[in-house]
Chain A
Amino acid sequence: MSIEAQTIHRETFVLNLGPQHPATHGVLRIKLTMNGEYVEDADPVIGYGHRMQEKMGENRTYAKFLPNTARMDYVAALFNTHGYVCAVERLAGITVPDRAEYIRVITAELNRIASHLLWVGAFLIDLGGFTPLLYTFDDREQILDLLESITGARLTFCYYRFGGVCNDIDEQFISGTRAFIARLHSRMPMYHALITQNIIFRKRCEGIGPIPAETCRKYGGSGPVLRGSGVSYDVRKNEPYSIYPRLDFNIPVYQECDCTARYKVRMDEMVESMRIIEQSLDQLPAGPVMAEKVPKLLKPPKGDCYFNVESARGVFGVRLVSDGTDKAYRLKLRSPCFSNLSLFRDCSRGMLMADALALLGSLDLVIPDIDR
């Protein structure tokens, strides 16, 4: 038998996690070198979903690339679109009207809540508890219905345009969003009672998967992974963009560096996002939702720029190099999950496999975002 053969000659054996596996969210393969139940080395192999989005960015006009941005991190699609659109606007010098900025923030934060709700359900499934997924998806359905009514899509939104958004929001959306926020506020105690205080969940997550802040700095980790390790870095506060400076919200930071810290960061971020949405709805000005005089075929001046947004998973960056034509010369998409996954190898050494999988789940990876 092959198992016999390997254990006779070596202590360790190689176990393949994926590419088809229930716990890796997408097509990810991890070559685990195991010593019994302990992970000696975990080497992620990516690229199974690689579509060469960056080349597509060079082959299409700026507007034609907009749908692509939603297909990378499809769970939190609006952030990728936001980053791309803002990078182009920065280079082309387009100013976005206030109402459009507020709408962008409202929809983006709704998307953040939806993404975190999906993560909570998926994380619990990784740990073996199947029921919370159905509850979080119930809430997420409401968000998707709201966003569908104005964007026309449930998952892969193509809503932002250069200079604003393509559709205005209506009274139904506003009242629906307020009702949803009220409902989610009332459901948060239930989530905390069902999950956060569950003894088995706590045993699976407390002290598990420590990621020191220094490791995050060396690898470029960002987002809830970073904030769960005690570093208060959020692009919305440290490098503000859009209308975030006008809004009052906190950045949840936890010091424990373990899976529980990352879970708590995301739960608190949902509450903060709800605050942001409420303030934005209160402050929503009247006005146009598209800037005037944006050329149909956008040709930004020569040069390059960088734009950062705080996606649900971390810092999503776009480096755009333009040569004055209607197609980008170079479009670099900096994916947060890419850097977050790169620290998995270092952090999972010596762990039990179940704990390594809990760590992998807590990183909140969407593989198409990594593979692009």
Chain B
Amino acid sequence: MKVLAALSGGVDSAVAAARAVDAGHDVTAVHLALSSTPAALRSGARGCCSLEDARDARRAADVLGVPFYVWDVAERFGREVVDDFVAEYAAGRTPNPCIRCNERIKFAAVLDRAVALGFDAVCTGHYARLVDGVLYRAVDHGKDQSYVLAVLAPWQLSRAMFPLGDTVKADVRREASSRGLAVAEKPDSHDVCFIADGDTAGWLRGHLGDQPGPIVDAATGDVVGAHDGAYAFTVGQRRGLRIGRPAADGLPRYVLDVSPVTRTVTVGTAADLDVLTVMTGAPTWCGVPPSLPSQTLVQMRAHGEAVPAYVEDLPDGAGLRLQLSSPARGIAPGQTAALYDGERVLGSATIERAD
């Protein structure tokens, strides 16, 4: 097959591309430029986007002996991922930009272009398994990234290649080292790749400005503090609340709700965070849609646990209702609920409401 390997400059995508070469595919490597003004050097915990990362990607392609190009997707990434990220926070929701990037950039804009240019598949370093077009969790559950891929539809998965799903991270590093890939010891990337210093609240402030408002205690209705912008808070957050005095019940306070219209951040106890029912928007199924209602596993955060849930269509058919078997905490609108049948990924939907 003609395979387009996306190289971020990190160790995972480099080993994934190497395995595609070993499998006998005709591999061409691309590094996706996500910013029109990339920084010269990598900073903080970022694992992509700087010129240094572009160079690392180029050197990996050299070692593999495959052609290398940079594809400029900055405009599309800015529109579909960064703008969406800002708009979601401004609306009091909690987005996952990696999911949007997979859904709209890597396995949409890039995949479409690759197919049009004659490629059969796009290969990435995601930790997930694809068996006959069916998506499963990676064997390394600690690194499993099936959650951020659960948004992909069958037409996207049929053109995807994830060669690392059957390997644990430590072995991927060892393999990179034995292949002579200089990125073998490069630290893992985490946080949001386009926020260099990891200060999401500060970055959002730069985009949305100060929007001061009250912090209200759900138990008493009292204003217990003030904030500079509701967008800096997500449901379940405890740090950074700056509540001057302890609550009457003596229990710590967590963010329960973020309401940008009234600029109100509502706080309450840990117990108030418990959620048993989740409503979502329309689901994307990774394969044949399951017959509902049905008992599945649901995961609602990138590294969260999967909990059993009873899933049914909403009466209007525009979404799902998830009845959790045990309470979940820190569930915010905008997050993705990924549904699993054991290790198999069924699909996903965006959380609209949690009670």
Task: Verify that A and B bind, or say they do not.
Answer: no
A: residues with CB less than 8 A from B are: none
